């Protein structure tokens, strides 16, 4: 199953799929195309979710190992998506229904809000354990969204945070039981209906300007 789009009233619900939902070039193209449709169609909010045990496992390391000469292009492509989600001109919420690792956890952080399943699944930045340092852009994204304490706890340890642990460290905003995560994310966005897109987009560009600049300008340093 690929990426699929549905709506709950004016809130777009984007299902990333039912496998590991890694960021292959095709996956990134599909996601960008759906974002074009969502924003262009006047949606009042976006929830991303998934249908399996993973929200997303992040970088497609198999593709990357087979196309090493395209590393700089690929990392730039991923970081452009993260920057776009960070500044999307509508309210956004990630329904983290399963594991979110590495760049997949970064995608969740790039949303305005996050709801995670309380009893199963991990939110984790494994970079320190797999010997892949963060790029400046990826570090800037994480540090723009987390407290200094949470950034150290998550970025330097490789710790796997379960839902309640992630909520306690403010990696996510709320938790919900199995089967209720996506609905809870939708409900987070309902009170935000009707926000002016141009104003909201401008606010996010200002709030996250340094992180966006780092994400879109550091692809020459492709260590992650």
Is 54 a residue whose pLDDT tops 70? yes
Query: Can you give the pLDDT at residue 2?
Result: 85
Give CA–CA dist 206/169, Å, rounded: 25
Residues 33-36: contacts with CB within 8 Å, 24+ apart? Answer: 34/3, 34/5, 35/84, 35/85, 35/88
**What is the predicted pLDDT for the residue at 1?**
64
Domain parsing of the chain, residue ranges: 4-216
Task: Categorize the per-residue pLDDT at 220 as very low, low, confident or very high, splitting at 50, 70 and 90.
Answer: very low
Over residues 119-146, the pLDDT tens digits come to 999 999 999 999 999 999 999 999 999 9
CATH of 4-216 among 3.40.50.1820, 3.30.365.10, 3.90.226.10, 3.30.565.10: 3.90.226.10
pTM listed for this prediction: 0.95
Q: Quick: pLDDT tens for 150-180.
A: 999 999 999 999 999 999 999 999 999 999 9
State the alpha helices, DSSP H only, in 54-191.
Answer: 61-66, 71-86, 103-110, 127-130, 136-145, 148-155, 163-168, 181-189
């Amino acid at each position: 199953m690929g990426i699929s789009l549905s709506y709950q009233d004016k809130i777009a619900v984007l299902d990333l799929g039912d496998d590991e939902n890694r960021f292959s070039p095709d996956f990134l193209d599909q996601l960008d195309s759906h974002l074009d449709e969502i924003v262009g169609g006047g949606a009042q909010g976006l929830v991303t979710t998934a249908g399996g045990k993973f929200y997303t496992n992040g970088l497609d390391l198999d593709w990357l190992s087979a196309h090493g000469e395209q590393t700089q292009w690929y990392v730039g492509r991923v970081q452009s998506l993260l920057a776009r989600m960070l500044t999307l001109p509508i309210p956004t919420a990630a329904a983290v229904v399963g594991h979110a690792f590495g760049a997949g956890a970064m995608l969740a952080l790039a949303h305005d809000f996050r709801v995670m399943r309380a009893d199963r699944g991990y939110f984790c930045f494994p970079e320190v354990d797999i010997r892949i340092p963060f790029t400046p852009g990826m570090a800037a994204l994480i540090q723009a969204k987390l407290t200094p304490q949470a950034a150290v706890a998550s970025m330097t340890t490789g710790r796997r945070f379960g839902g309640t642990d992630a909520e306690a460290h403010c990696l996510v905003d709320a938790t919900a039981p199995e089967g209720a995560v996506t609905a809870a994310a939708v409900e987070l966005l309902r009170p935000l209906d009707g926000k002016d897109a141009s104003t909201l987009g401008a606010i996010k560009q200002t709030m996250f300007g340094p992180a966006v600049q780092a994400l879109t300008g550091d692809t020459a340093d492709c260590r992650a």
